[in-house]
């Protein structure tokens, strides 16, 4: 146990400080503080000593230099168990500072509020971050509180130990302090690294959610981030690791569509998807695309769920539904299943850098944000796509972009009617997509085909044409492109090249 005689307080946010002041007074702990904090403490009716009176040096350069003084940092850093340190502290009249309470300038919040470089730079804390590091380094003697989030815990520790600190408490608070300081520095580095690009990997996320388990029950799972910014959970059990992966894929997919659209996902792939003027019709068409795989799926819509649509959806067993809103009666209908997860969308404004662990490091890339619209392609066949076919080609290409490779997608009249996902050959993906359509009685005549990458041989267009498919969209780029083009011309098919590959692994 270490007694606490002097506490240094230098905080940006004063919220929650009053219980600490009361506790410090209870245990006769002297307070040393900086300008703005001193005024708050004095107005609250507590006594304190200013840093300026301790150091006999004023705050200078518009407050940029206040606590950066040998008396302050000596009081924090001198080692109480070393005789020479004790002698120097006495020689230079350096009082011990046993508790340091800091709340840093809100750098990240400033980034959210302004793009003014001067204002942002002024919110880079220098004195505060230095106090945190000094106190945390000397945790054997000093207790460091590095964020207003720790105020309540400090009060508990002081009351529990009658105004003293234990080695365990000091080390735990030091760990938190280095977490705060490293996160703060990462945010600052990321700001500077936008224009002057240094190819290093740094990421720091403070908020975490421990999940029931990872991809499988024997794996630990944690989500790092702010799910509450993405959606509000209105009903159901806790979100799982696999749920988050499916939602991530589903949100990326649904963002591609502006017209009323419903998507049904299993293992991040769309097993049903349709667009229509009326959401109910979009739902029915999406479900018809693969009613078997839809069982236990993840449902995502880009329109408010009305009562009529909710009644139809409620007939299916599914895990999750995400939509921008729910009519009151529709929500009550969907809540009839206890564990069903109902999510109301908030913001889909995500970072554009993707990364994951690979081998003994991390691999990162920009997100695939290329989306081909009408005429963003080269017409390579004699026959050109009709207006209906062109619209379906765009529709199909948006889906195949978000489907695991090798991928083939078949669509017709704004409806996904077959998909081959994650196959080891492109022809197998096509065969799988065609069989899916046939299994559910969906007419392939007049359908269109989208491929996430080029056709290495003409066999895919041959196979598709024999099933009634008459329009194709693909990136192109194979040394055998001419074979596919020749076959299309021979059988009066239309084909377009986008020049953009959409592999997804």
**C-beta neighbour count of 196 within 10 angstroms:** 6
Residue bearing tokens 């005789």: 83
**C-beta neighbour count of 56 within 10 angstroms:** 8
Tell me the three state secondary structure of residue 420.
strand
Q: Is the distance from CB of 80 to CB of 96 less than 8 angstroms?
A: yes
Alpha-carbon Rg of the chain, whole angstroms? 31
- Tokens in use for 362? 């991390």
Residue 275's nearest CA partner among 317, 303, 233 is 303
Residue 343's nearest CA partner among 248, 253, 269, 205 is 248
What CA–CA distance (Å, rounded) separates 493 from 489? 6
Burial level of 402, CB count in 10 A (0-12/13-18/19+)?
buried
- Whether residue 267 lies in the annotated active site: yes
**Strands, E assignment, 192-307:** 208-210, 222-224, 231-235, 261-266, 269-275, 297-301
ω into residue 406 within 30 of 0, thus cis? yes
**C-beta neighbour count of 317 within 10 angstroms:** 11
- Whether residue 384 lies in the annotated active site: no
- Residue 136, φ and ψ in degrees, nearest 5: -70, -40
The catalytic position among 5, 14, 137, 171 is 137
Element (H, E) at 363: strand 361-366
- Residue 319, φ and ψ in degrees, nearest 5: -85, -45
- Residue 200 CA to chain centroid, in angstroms? 20
Residue 244's nearest CA partner among 256, 257, 231, 234 is 231
Residue 69's nearest CA partner among 8, 144, 147 is 8
What CA–CA distance (Å, rounded) separates 163 from 157? 8
Residue bearing tokens 């507590």: 46
449's CB contacts (< 8 A; 6+ apart) are 396, 408, 409, 410, 430, 433, 460, 464, 469, 471, 472, 473
Phi and psi based region of residue 142 (left: phi greater than 0; alpha: psi -120 to 50; beta: remaining): beta
The catalytic position among 164, 171, 255, 267 is 267
Q: Is the distance from CB of 171 to CB of 142 less than 8 angstroms?
A: no
**Residues with a known catalytic role:** 137, 267
């Amino acid at each position: 146990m270490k007694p606490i005689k002097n506490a240094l307080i230098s905080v940006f946010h004063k919220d929650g400080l009053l219980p600490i002041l009361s506790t410090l007074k209870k245990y006769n702990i002297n307070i040393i503080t900086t300008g703005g904090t001193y005024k708050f403490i004095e107005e609250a009716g507590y006594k304190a000593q200013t840093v300026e009176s301790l150091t006999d040096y004023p705050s200078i350069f518009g407050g940029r230099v206040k606590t950066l003084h040998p008396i302050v940092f000596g009081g924090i850093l001198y080692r109480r168990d070393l005789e020479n340190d004790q002698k120097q502290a006495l020689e230079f009249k350096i009082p011990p500072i046993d508790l340091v309470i800091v709340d840093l300038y809100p750098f990240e919040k400033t980034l959210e509020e302004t793009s003014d470089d001067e204002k942002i730079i002024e919110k880079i804390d220098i004195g505060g971050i230095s106090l945190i590091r000094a106190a945390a380094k000397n945790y054997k003697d000093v207790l460091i509180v590095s964020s207003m989030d720790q105020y309540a815990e400090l009060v508990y520790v002081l009351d529990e130990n009658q105004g003293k600190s234990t080695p365990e408490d000091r080390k735990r608070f030091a760990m938190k302090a280095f977490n705060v300081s490293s996160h703060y520095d990462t945010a600052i580095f990321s700001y500077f690294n936008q224009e002057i690009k240094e190819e290093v990997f740094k990421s720091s996320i403070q908020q975490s959610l421990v999940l029931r388990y990872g991809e499988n029950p024997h794996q630990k799972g944690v989500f790092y981030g702010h799910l509450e910014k993405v959606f509000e959970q209105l009903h159901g059990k806790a979100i799982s690791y696999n749920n988050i992966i499916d939602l991530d894929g589903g949100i990326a997919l649904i963002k591609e569509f502006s017209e009323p659209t419903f998507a049904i996902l299993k293992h991040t792939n769309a097993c049903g998807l349709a667009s229509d003027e009326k959401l109910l019709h979009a739902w029915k068409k999406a479900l018809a695309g693969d009613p078997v795989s839809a069982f236990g799926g993840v449902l995502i819509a880009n329109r408010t769920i009305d009562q009529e649509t909710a009644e139809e959806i409620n007939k299916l067993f599914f895990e999750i539904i995400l939509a921008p809103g729910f009519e009151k009666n529709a929500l009550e209908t969907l809540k009839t299943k206890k564990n069903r997860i109902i999510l109301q969308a908030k913001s889909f404004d995500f970072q554009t850098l993707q990364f994951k662990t690979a081998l003994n490091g991390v691999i990162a890339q920009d997100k695939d944000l290329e989306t081909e619209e009408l005429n963003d392609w080269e017409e390579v066949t004699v026959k050109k796509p009709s207006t209906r076919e062109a619209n379906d080609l765009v529709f199909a290409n948006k889906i195949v972009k978000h489907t695991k490779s090798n991928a083939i997608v078949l669509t017709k009249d704004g409806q996904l009617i077959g998909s081959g996902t994650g196959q080891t050959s492109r022809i197998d993906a096509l065969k799988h997509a065609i069989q899916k359509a046939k299994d559910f009685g969906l007419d392939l005549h007049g359908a269109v085909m989208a491929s996430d990458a080029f056709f290495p041989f003409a066999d895919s267009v041959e196979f598709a044409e024999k099933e009634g498919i008459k329009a194709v969209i693909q990136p192109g780029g194979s040394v055998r492109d001419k074979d596919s083009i020749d076959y299309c011309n021979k059988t009066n098919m239309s084909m377009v090249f986008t020049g953009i590959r959409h592999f997804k692994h």
